[in-house]
Chains A and B, each alone.
With several copies, the nearest count.
Chain A
């Protein structure tokens, strides 16, 4: 396994395991957008968009786009049966009321305490937080999908985030191309390893200490 779509799909496939029938799920851009491809065909999942869609379906075929049916990023989507439209206050009401079961996000850094830093790209202008803070603070479960290290090879799982926080102590689970971590009150707990990686490789590429589960699940690619 290397860079590219393959490991992205490995991560997305593992994230899909967290989703159960009937859940309300908000997906960020990037790797999270690949998650629906890995769900069982008959599973009923309601994908939520901040602009006011519940029950979002896949992108339409080229030429079938509807300019008035787009996701929060402005790109055309479809609506699944049982879906509905609402205004932005209701869309965020679902989040703050705890009705969004899972949000699956990309991130720049995550700390050992589950602090999330995913809204200011280093070296770029401040773009604004959009809906990231509400999702990070209020979704019932926050799962981060990301490369284990950045392009320069620096660890993204850190003792303390150096980038501005989106929200503190909000992440529940981290999935990278190397491993899966749960965020516990005592710090990170490695629970799974993707083949062919081992604990030493993960430790080398992770800034902070982490605990290791008694039973590590090894996931083949």
Chain B
């Protein structure tokens, strides 16, 4: 395969970047747009004590939920865990620390990390203990705001429809969701893609994530879980 940037890798090779105790950010929303092959690879490699950052904890057997259900995470930063009861159970048993962030603010915190900004100001959920706990406030033009800090991760994993060998990515429909944000926020970003196409074959106007942000590309084996609606 054409690989002039050396970014196209095997699953085995990219699994070398994962380690116990790491911070891992993942794309996806309710499992839609989460990278199945990478998640299975991380599971099979036995990686544990992970701090996970992403929209939600999927379903018990869907998306990142697989890692959570098997007790591989010690902490999750997410907007909700309601669709994965095992996450709730682990949290209440004190085996999983959960930091909740309002969904749109979580997305902005990830984006801020991705574009190298340290924080944003927000007025969402200010009166809510769960949101405002331990967060600094700032008075701007007489109005009180929370300082919501940027999020980055040692490794980000995303799922895309197509990549070229530079790692330029396009996404499919609502499977885009948090993926373009997560792709920018990783110190190392790995894209799992349905198809790798030749350099120059993607319309440069349609590329959503420039390959600049992508370090490794692997071909996907496709979604291997049964969706909740199936």
Query: Interface residues, chain A, CB within 8 Å of chain B?
Result: 21-22, 24, 44, 46, 48-55, 65-76, 79, 81-100, 125-131, 133-134, 137-138, 164-165, 167-168
**Residue in B closest to A129 when the chains form the complex, CB atoms:** B102
Q: Does B207 contact A (CB under 8 A)?
A: yes
Q: Does B174 contact A (CB under 8 A)?
A: yes
**Residue in B closest to A42 when the chains form the complex, CB atoms:** B4
7 further interface pairs, Cβ-Cβ under 8 Å (given A52-B29, A82-B164, A126-B88): A22-B4, A22-B5, A67-B175, A68-B174, A87-B181, A89-B115, A128-B100
Q: List 9 A-B contacts (CB under 8 A).
A: A76-B229, A82-B168, A85-B205, A89-B181, A92-B103, A93-B114, A128-B100, A129-B128, A130-B56
Q: Are B207 and A133 in contact (CB under 8 A)?
A: no
Give Cα A82 to B164, complex, Å.
7
Query: Do most interface residues of chain B lie in helix, strand or loop, or is the interface mixed?
Result: loop
Q: How far is the CB of A130 from chain B (nearest CB, A)?
A: 4
Query: Interface residues, chain B, CB within 8 Å of chain A?
Result: 4-6, 29-33, 55-56, 59, 78-83, 85, 88-89, 91-92, 98, 100, 102-105, 107-108, 111, 114-117, 123-125, 127-128, 130-131, 161, 164-166, 168, 171-181, 184, 199-200, 202, 204-205, 207-208, 210-213, 223, 227-230
Give Cα A50 to B208, complex, Å.
17
Q: Known contacts being A82-B199, A85-B174, A85-B205, is A131 close to B116, with CB within 8 Å? A: no
Q: Are B30 and A134 in contact (CB under 8 A)?
A: no
Contacts of B127 in A (CB 8 A): 165, 168
Q: Are A88 and B29 in contact (CB under 8 A)?
A: yes
**Residue in B closest to A66 when the chains form the complex, CB atoms:** B173
Contacts of A71 in B (CB 8 A): 174
Q: How far is the CB of B166 from chain A (nearest CB, A)?
A: 4
Q: Are A88 and B181 in contact (CB under 8 A)?
A: yes
Give Cα A91 to B79, complex, Å.
15
Q: How far is the CB of A78 from chain B (nearest CB, A)?
A: 10
